[in-house]
Amino acid sequence: MEEKMMELFCAIAGRRSIRKYSGDDVCEEDLRRMLDAGRMAPSWVNFQVWEVVVVRDPKTKSALAATLPDTNPARGAVESAPVVLVACGRKGESGCKKGELATVLGDWLMFDVALFLNNVTLAAYALGYGTVHVGYFDQKRAAKLIGVPDQVQVVELLPIGRPLEPAKYVSPRRAIEDFVHREKY
């Protein structure tokens, strides 16, 4: 096994949202390393509510792509990526104490699934793959397509593939001074 190494800050600064992929596959060994990175994420009371459906079947990918609005530029990404993860979270656990919601924020499943996915996307980048978070689609239709039960919430689609070309563009980021407040808001 070839050991891929990337410095953390390089990974964080270099990752881009990638929507066009070469025809190259995502090998199972690399996919496993991504999922392994994901599962190391922390979570509410260590409940690890994430559930992931790995989709490689072209028919299923096309059907999932059809759950995106025409206006979503990631539609082609879902259709053409060799692998699409359907990232889900079990309902009614994260954010709860003794089965009751513990904060005004309701279910924390989106928070925990995001921690998981952030690790996956960084790992994918370090291994030479591109990903893009796709949240703007019909979660209910997607759930029905792949048989996700009612007690599990579909959150996002994450296409994964080798980038067709290097990312040319960095989405501008807010300056630190712009979002950081000191002592008081």
- Residue 158: closest CA among 70, 65, 50, 83: 83
Site size toward its own copies, by CB under 8 A: 78
What minimum distance in Å lies between the beta carbon of 80 and its own copies?
Answer: 18
Residues 48-67 that bind its own copies (CB under 8 A): 48, 50-57, 60
Written as one letter, the residue type at 75 is: R
| Interface mask toward its own copies for 67-86; x: CB under 8 A | --------------------
CB 26 within 8 A of CB 109: no
Residues 84-113 that bind its own copies (CB under 8 A): 88, 95, 97, 102-105, 108, 110-113
What minimum distance in Å lies between the beta carbon of 89 and its own copies?
Answer: 10
Among 2, 150, 168, 171, binds its own copies (CB under 8 A): 171
Name every residue whose Cβ is closer than 8 Å to that of residue 36 and which is 6 or more positions away in sequence.
123
Q: Count CB-CB contacts under 10 A for residue 61.
A: 21
Cα 157 from Cα 114, distance rounded (Å): 12
- 151 is a contact residue toward its own copies (CB under 8 A): no
Cα 147 from Cα 89, distance rounded (Å): 14
Residues 120-149 that bind its own copies (CB under 8 A): 121-123, 126, 133, 135-140, 146-149
Among 26, 68, 78, 114, binds its own copies (CB under 8 A): 114
Among 9, 70, 100, 150, binds its own copies (CB under 8 A): 9
Nearest-10 Cα torsion for 169, 170, 171, 176: -160
- 176 is a contact residue toward its own copies (CB under 8 A): yes
- 157 is a contact residue toward its own copies (CB under 8 A): no
Cα 9 from Cα 123, distance rounded (Å): 12
